[in-house]
């Protein structure tokens, strides 16, 4: 019961208003502080031709002068690499005597790519063990669920593994920056941490192995479309890697004067969300013709789904980080559908990552901290090599390809003073 209910209600109304104002103010302030997209994109625009992927090569930050020392053919691999290329303490690393204890840390498994990667690392580990390169069993820390996963837990895992006497760690960061201190600490303790699916620019001891795998696809689609409306489908807001992808993609689009960016939605790097958000956008813009979609990675199938749902023709969609389902669909519509994708699978990643780690541990002398792995570009012409025929669009499979198809030994040799894998592994 309430005496003078009306008064209290007035009060409440007021409070609501005040709260609202506060929020608005917050938005204003926040907006004021939020800045536009990254600079490299702008810088790169001048020299870039439509359909050609953005290239930062002549802008690459090279404070240690290591990049210049790399052979030209290797330098050439760094086209869309947006970060700096640094020297690494592991060049001087004398290596340890095998067998080594290996650790694997990953964020929660949400995609077949990661599932396959984990599987393959296990396989490689056992093969190496047979050769007496590794000992014990693979030390794993795979986070349970996104609801309770934090990068701090991964940092703790790194430290824990170092304490347990692990010699080298493969790491898939939930988020890059928070892991810097842990990785550097591990490095100081002589434990190399090789990361992928993310780039940690702030760390001295980290080893970045990364594919700027979206921008070639973006550029390809831009070139394919040339003139018309482009819809951007971005990943998770506030994620550094996402931003890097986006910057490159924007640069690629800007390179084509005929292209117009008509909208941006956020698909959170999941097909489900991508479908929903694109569907919303399409519903809101029934009369806007979308000639091409550029997505931030692993959302192609979801976007196709949205267009099919909307009963609209499916435009070229950049297939950065392609997945099996969309490839099969594409294959099925090969005659009518054109697009550009970049594809590699978890097995390949694991295969190369593992070898890189072994080489470091063996003291082969890594030349640079940052390894950029260019990814095979998939077009209608070579589609059949990667696609598995006869699968549904939502099939959670992976692109096909030889296990060494991502970063073969020959590729790796370029990065090490002493080529070859230990014990001819």
Partner 1 sequence: MSTGAVATESPARPASSARAGYAVTLGLRLLNRYSFAFALLLTVALLATTIVRDPDPWSNGFWVGLLQNMAPMALAAMASTPAIISGGGGFDLSISPLMYFLAEVFIVWLAPHSLGGFASVPIVLGLGAAIGAFNGLLIILLRVPPVVATLAVFFVLIGVDLRMLANPNEGGYLSPSNWVVHLADKVGPIPGGVFTLGFPLLVWFLLGLLPYRRTLYAVGSNDATAFASGVNVALVRVVAYSLGGLFAGVASLALVAISLSANPSLSQSYTLLAIAAVALGGTSLWGGRGGLFGSLLGAASIYLLGNLLLTLQVDPSYLQVMYGGMLLVAVVLGGVAARARQAE
Partner 2 sequence: MSAIPGQPAAATGATRIWRRLVALQARFPILQAVLLIAVYLYAATSLSLSSWHSIREILTLAALAGLAATGQTLLILMGGFDLSVSNFILASALTVSVLRDQWGVSYEVAILVAVVAGGLFGALAGQICHRFEIQPLIVTLAMGGIAIGLVQVETGGTFAGSSPPWLIRLASPQSDTFGVIGIPPLVSIWAVVAVLMAVFLHRTAAGRRVMATGANPRAAEYSLIRTRRVWTLAFAFSGVVSALVGLLVAGSAASVDSTVGDPYLFQSVVAVIVGGTVFGGPGDYSRTALGALFLTVVNFVLVGKGATPGDQNMIYGVAILVAVALYGRERRLRDRI
> Which residue in the set 75, 84, 153, 270 belongs to the binding site for partner 2 (CB under 8 A)?
270
CA distances from 251 to 128, 217, 257, 343 (A): 43, 13, 11, 21
Instruction: State which of residues 35, 71, 237, 410 lies at the interface with partner 2 (CB under 8 A).
Output: 237
Beta pairing, strands 292-295 & 319-320: unpaired
Helix, strand or coil, per DSSP, at residue 49:
coil
Among 19, 258, 392, 402, binds partner 1 (CB under 8 A): 19
For residues 319 and 346, which CB has a smaller minimum distance to partner 1 in the complex?
Answer: 346
Residue of 135, 309, 382, 417 that binds partner 2 (CB under 8 A): 309
Judged by CB under 8 A, does residue 198 bind partner 1?
no
Q: Is 146 helix (H, G, I), strand (E, B) or coil?
A: coil
Q: Are 377 and 52 contacting, i.e. CB atoms less than 8 angstroms apart?
A: no
Instruction: Name the strand (E) or helix (H) holding 44.
Output: helix 39-45
Residue 144 beta carbon to partner 2: minimum distance, rounded to whole angstroms: 7
Beta strand residue intervals within 25-130, DSSP E: 102-106
Query: Which partner from the list partner 1, partner 2, none does 20 bind, CB cut-off 5 to 8 Å by kind?
Result: partner 2
Stretch 102-141: interaction string toward partner 2, x if CB under 8 A? ------xxxxx--x--x-----------------------
Q: What is the DSSP string of 256-314?
A: -TTEEEEEEEE-TT-HHHHHHHHHHHHHH-TTSPP-EEEESSS-HHHHHHHHHHTT---
DSSP structure class, residue 376: P
Q: Which residues would be at the binding site for partner 1 (CB under 8 A)?
A: 8, 11-12, 15-16, 19, 22-23, 26-27, 30-31, 33-38, 137, 139-145, 147-153, 155-157, 159-161, 163-165, 174-175, 177-181, 202, 236-240, 242-244, 247
Q: Which residues would be at the binding site for partner 2 (CB under 8 A)?
A: 1-10, 12-13, 15-16, 19-20, 23, 26-27, 30, 108-112, 115, 118, 142, 144-148, 237, 263-266, 268, 270-273, 275-277, 279-287, 301-302, 305, 309-311, 325, 392-396
């Amino acid at each position: 019961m309430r005496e003078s209910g009306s008064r209290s209600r007035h009060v409440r109304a007021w409070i609501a208003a005040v709260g609202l104002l506060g929020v608005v103010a917050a938005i204003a302030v926040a907006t004021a502080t939020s800045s536009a997209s990254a600079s490299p994109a702008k810088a790169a625009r001048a020299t870039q031709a439509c359909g050609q992927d953005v290239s930062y090569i002549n802008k690459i930050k090279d404070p240690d002068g290591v990049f210049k020392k790399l052979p030209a053919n290797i330098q050439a691999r760094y086209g869309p690499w947006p970060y700096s290329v640094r020297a690494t303490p592991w060049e001087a690393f004398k290596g340890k005597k095998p067998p080594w204890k290996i650790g694997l840390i990953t964020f929660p498994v949400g995609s077949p790519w990661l599932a396959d990667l984990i599987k393959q690392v296990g396989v490689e580990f056992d093969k190496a063990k047979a050769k007496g390169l590794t000992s014990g069993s693979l030390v794993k820390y795979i986070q349970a669920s996104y609801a309770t996963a934090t990068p701090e837990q991964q940092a703790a895992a790194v430290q824990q593994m170092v304490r347990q006497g692990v010699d080298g760690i493969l790491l898939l960061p939930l988020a890059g920056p928070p892991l810097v201190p842990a990785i550097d600490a591990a490095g100081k303790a002589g434990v190399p941490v090789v990361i992928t699916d993310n780039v940690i620019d702030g760390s001295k001891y980290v080893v970045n192995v990364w594919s700027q795998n979206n921008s070639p696809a973006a550029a390809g689609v831009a070139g394919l479309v040339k003139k018309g409306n482009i819809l951007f489908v971005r990943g998770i807001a506030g994620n550094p890697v996402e931003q890097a992808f986006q910057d490159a993609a924007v640069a690629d689009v800007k390179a084509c004067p005929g292209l117009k960016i008509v909208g941006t939605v956020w698909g959170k790097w999941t097909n489900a969300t991508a479908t929903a958000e694109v569907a919303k956008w399409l519903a809101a813009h029934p009369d806007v013709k979308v000639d091409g979609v550029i997505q931030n990675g692993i959302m192609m199938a979801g976007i196709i789904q949205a267009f099919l749902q909307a009963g609209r023709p499916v435009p070229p969609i950049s297939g950065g980080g392609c997945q099996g389902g969309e490839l099969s669909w594409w294959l099925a519509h090969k005659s009518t559908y054109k697009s550009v994708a970049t594809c590699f699978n978890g097995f390949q990643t694991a295969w190369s990552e593992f070898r890189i780690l072994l080489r470091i541990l063996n003291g082969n002398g890594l030349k640079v901290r940052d390894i950029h792995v260019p990814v095979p570009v998939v077009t209608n012409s070579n589609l059949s090599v990667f696609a598995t025929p006869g699968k549904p669009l939502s099939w959670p499979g992976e692109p096909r390809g030889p296990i060494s198809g991502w970063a073969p030994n020959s590729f790796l040799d370029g990065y090490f003073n002493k080529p070859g894998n230990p014990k001819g592994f």
